[in-house]
Amino acid sequence: MVPSRGSRTKNRGFIIPIGGAVRKRKNPVILEKFVELCGGNKAVIPVIAAATKVKEVGGEYVQLFTNMGAKKVPFVDIQTRSDCRKDEILSQFKDATGIFMTGGNQLRLSTILGGTPVAQLIRKMNADGLHFAGTSAGAAIIPEHMISGGRSGSTPTPGSVSLSPGLGLTNSMVIDQHFRQRNRLGRLLSAVAYNPFLIGIGIDEDTAIFIDHKQTFEVSGSGAVTVVDPSDIQHSSMSTARRGDAVNLVDVKLHILADGATYNLQSKEAIVTDSPEKQ
Amino acid sequence: MVPSRGSRTKNRGFIIPIGGAVRKRKNPVILEKFVELCGGNKAVIPVIAAATKVKEVGGEYVQLFTNMGAKKVPFVDIQTRSDCRKDEILSQFKDATGIFMTGGNQLRLSTILGGTPVAQLIRKMNADGLHFAGTSAGAAIIPEHMISGGRSGSTPTPGSVSLSPGLGLTNSMVIDQHFRQRNRLGRLLSAVAYNPFLIGIGIDEDTAIFIDHKQTFEVSGSGAVTVVDPSDIQHSSMSTARRGDAVNLVDVKLHILADGATYNLQSKEAIVTDSPEKQ
């Protein structure tokens, strides 16, 4: 699904995929930055934990954002598709300035939320300026094409990744998370090799990208972001290789970006400036 | 150490790094190709197992190459640096058409062989046409700059790789092995980020590259070879990042090459042609 165009009178809100295992207590830069972006002491941040059956997961973020000074942090208790049609659920999004989606299983997320009034509301509100952050499964579900599973390993093979329709807040990229920690370059390369119009974004744990309405993102956190730009690929043997075969991919462009680096998803250019005191 | 120039009257022999866990019984294409290259039933292939204390490792390859029809497969029993000066050891290389070096620990290899008459002999004989194959540690030791250790993970960090001087049969690349299986892209990227004149070659298990005297290699085996070409790198923050920090690397060129694909280490071009029956 292409991203909602909303009312077209406002800029799209930030889209913030987080690579999982985000720091919550000591130096939680990513979460603090998110709360600040949502308005600090004026922030209203509904938390959705539908990716997991463990209710404590959502409650923990409610507590964290409240402690960080947010004005209101409603816990949106979605467990079924029918929940996503209830007025008392939909009303919890009123006045929201940001939404946070926890980790768990992205297929649980997509099967519960997909096509429901909650999904439609999130899509429209993000187009109209609401910021959306999701970690792990909550990050995976962000794009039109969602990585729903796959095998670990650094080289791509047919069948090493499975794609499913996601929430569709963006359609220019495919996102993978726990990237370095779970050795996922191969499945990200496989995903972009299927159709090189997508940019592959691999996000390490405790790392996030803050994507603005101009399609530029900035990296934040302690890990790195791996950008796979397939636009110059000369050859992909993905169509002819058999399941489990090694695959040829010639001329993939790769960037590794750390905290503070920026990347423009349209011009496909990275901008990195080392801070002066480090030089 | 730059590669030996030998007598300059003959072409350099093939250099064949293998990514470890090479198939030995069922369909051992890489080892068979090596024996054929060395002359088939005229092949004389000394086997060096100095990388390991386990004597059976060398004996197994002696048996394999003999079964594949090689004329003579002497086991060169090197355990110490003084062994590398003995005439009875050096004489085992007489009439050799290829040398095979087993896996184990590449630092054991380099500390035992480094700078000895055996190392000098291998360097000179390879320059004069002798083929050299090594698997795992035996592959790592091939270049001038050898990866002797490091941490797993797909993104580079300072301190995630340690380099030591290798045998120096080639100085255009740095080689890593068990590549996909042990998640080693990060340490290979770290190695090339230190000094982008090197091309990084990551070889999966049961996969090899056959490098000819014109510096073109062909991939053989069931896995893939990851080529990291850093020549266009716009930015490497390796000098300013601290140990454990994420590192910025902008514009790395990446190729994933499977069986039959070729790559020229001088022009830095990959050539991939899918076999017609597959198209």
Does some domain include residue B223? yes
**Cβ B114 vs Cβ B149: under 8 Å:** no
Does some domain include residue A273? no
Q: What are the C-alpha distances in Å from A48 to residues A7, A90, A91, A101, A148?
A: 24, 12, 14, 5, 19
Task: Return the axis-axis angle of helices B29-37 and B55-67, rounded to nearest 10°.
Answer: 70
How many angstroms separate the CA atoms of B43 and A141, rounded?
58
Question: Of B26-40, B186-200, B217-231, B236-250, which range is least confident?
Answer: B236-250
**Contact across the interface for A154 and B249, Cβ inside 8 Å:** no
**Contact across the interface for B183 and A261, Cβ inside 8 Å:** no
Please tell me the predicted confidence (pLDDT) of residue A277.
Answer: 45
Express each pLDDT in A98-107 by its tens digit.
999 999 999 9
**Contact across the interface for B240 and A152, Cβ inside 8 Å:** no
Question: Quick one: pLDDT band at residue B279, thresholds 50, 70, 90?
Answer: very low
DSSP β-bridge partners for residue B202: B176, B226
Catalytic residue among B144, B190, B205, B220: B205
Give the mean model confidence (pLDDT) for residues A181-210.
91
Does some domain include residue B20? yes
Identify the CATH number of the domain in which residue A54 sits. Answer: 3.40.50.880
- Domain range for B30 is 15-259
How many angstroms separate the CA atoms of B141 and B151, rounded?
18
Please tell me the predicted confidence (pLDDT) of residue B152.
Answer: 84
Provide the chain A residues 245-264 that lie in CB contact (below 8 A) with chain B.
Answer: 245-259, 261
User: Nearest-CA distance from B227 to chain A in Å?
Assistant: 9
Does some domain include residue B8? no
Q: Does B274 have pLDDT greater than 80?
A: no
| ipTM of predicted assembly, 2 dp | 0.77
Characterize the bridge pairing of strands B75-76 and B47-48: parallel
Does some domain include residue B275? no
Give the mean model confidence (pLDDT) for residues B30-51.
97
Query: Which residues of A are annotated as catalytic?
Result: 136, 178, 205
Better pLDDT: B266 or A240: B266
Better pLDDT: B9 or A208: A208
Please tell me the predicted confidence (pLDDT) of residue B239.
Answer: 80
Instruction: Tell the residue number behind the tokens 């791996």, with chain if given.
Output: A226
pTM above 0.80, yes or no: yes
Q: What are the CB-based long-range contacts (under 8 Å, 24+) for A63-68?
A: A64/A24, A64/A28, A64/A31, A65/A31, A65/A35, A65/A100, A68/A28, A68/A31, A68/A32, A68/A35
Express each pLDDT in B177-210 by its tens digit.
999 888 899 899 989 888 888 899 999 999 999 9
Does some domain include residue B247? yes
Please tell me the predicted confidence (pLDDT) of residue A276.
Answer: 47
Q: Does A259 have pLDDT greater than 60?
A: yes
Does some domain include residue A10? no
Express each pLDDT in A224-237 by its tens digit.
999 999 988 888 88
Percent of chain B at pLDDT exceeding 90: 70
Please tell me the predicted confidence (pLDDT) of residue B278.
Answer: 43
Q: How many structural domains comprise chain B?
A: 1
User: Nearest-CA distance from B186 to chain A in Å?
Assistant: 8
Provide the chain A residues 121-180 that lie in CB contact (below 8 A) with chain B.
Answer: 152-156, 179-180
Does some domain include residue B272? no
